[in-house]
Amino acid sequence: MGPTLERLEELSRSLPGRRLGVVGDLIADVYLFARPSRLSREAPVLVVQYLEEKVIPGSAANTAMNAAALGGKVRVLCAVGEDGPGKAVLETFRKAGLETSGVLALPGAETVTKTRILVGDPGRTPQQVIRLDRGTGEVISPDLEKRLLEKIEEADSEVEGWLVSDYEFGLVTEAIASRILRSARKGKYVVVDSRHRLGLFKGADALCPNQEELGEFLGRPLESREAILEGGREALEALKAKVLFLTLGNQGMAVFPRGKDPVFLPVVGPDQVTDVSGAGDTVAATILLARCSGADPVEAGWLATCAASVVVQKLGAATATPAELRKALKKAKPLLGKSREGKEMKK
């Protein structure tokens, strides 16, 4: 028996005001919009006319923005280059009301930036034609690591939970991961979204990999429901987590709570997806807010699935508002009884 709509709506009203700390790799997502003009005489390529440019917080920055959009009181702990994209992301943080005293400057370094060029006629959905990445994300210096550890120590007594967003761009060192996990051992909620280093975070409250990331950790692809069930259980034990939230793209989510059967949650909303960029950030942020609000793993999974169903309908790394989450929950009502335990899925 899954949660009721009334219970999920009650939990959604409890998300605002939760005090969270977000630690991780900050990336600036730059979207450059243009309209097609003509074919170039210089090479067999399209000439496009510049329209506008937007800088949107990405990765850990997007996770923080998602938590704030749902009402969380968010402290951001990360590092940023002293350049245009970095300053733009910081300004977005401040406008959204995020606490940024833990954002440290990287003298002489550039902010890791992903520039997407999108081309389309006005009034039509633009198509991404190329992406240009800048910044190597080198491991932070010992001095910067020391300063960040001090910021984490200062914030720990103020936050109810920590979210680690590890894109392997150099900020989350072993020492920083160890310090955050110390909070988990003391009973604080710690949710981890790590692209390639799940093994670094043994003992977290919750881990939020996607299907490919979990397969990489286990060293084998997870291509069937049976493989997913086996892999999820194996990873849960190996990583000593309380719960594993495995996102499955258009197949929904599998929730693996310790000591209980796994549960598969169906996808919420229409099949048409505009952009999956940042959906994992939304999932992780919502899960931490939900866990801090008293949600059990399956309830947290439903809230996260519904929040993600909102952002995938938007272009780029996006956020969901409380009103949008409530609307998505209502759409999910017919599905709430369709979540199934792993033992049923094998039939």
Active site residues: 281
Is the Cβ–Cβ distance between 10 and 317 less than 8 Å? no
**What are the DSSP calls for 10-78, one per residue?**
HHHHH-TT-EEEEEE-EEEEEEEEEEEEEE-SSSSSEEEEEEEEEEEEEEHHHHHHHHHHTT-EEEEEE
SS3 118: strand
Q: Is 204 exposed, middle or buried (0-12, 13-18, 19+ CB in 10 A)?
A: buried
Distance set, CA 240 to CA 181, 235, 275 (Å):
12, 8, 33
DSSP letter, residue 312 = T
Residues in the chain: 347
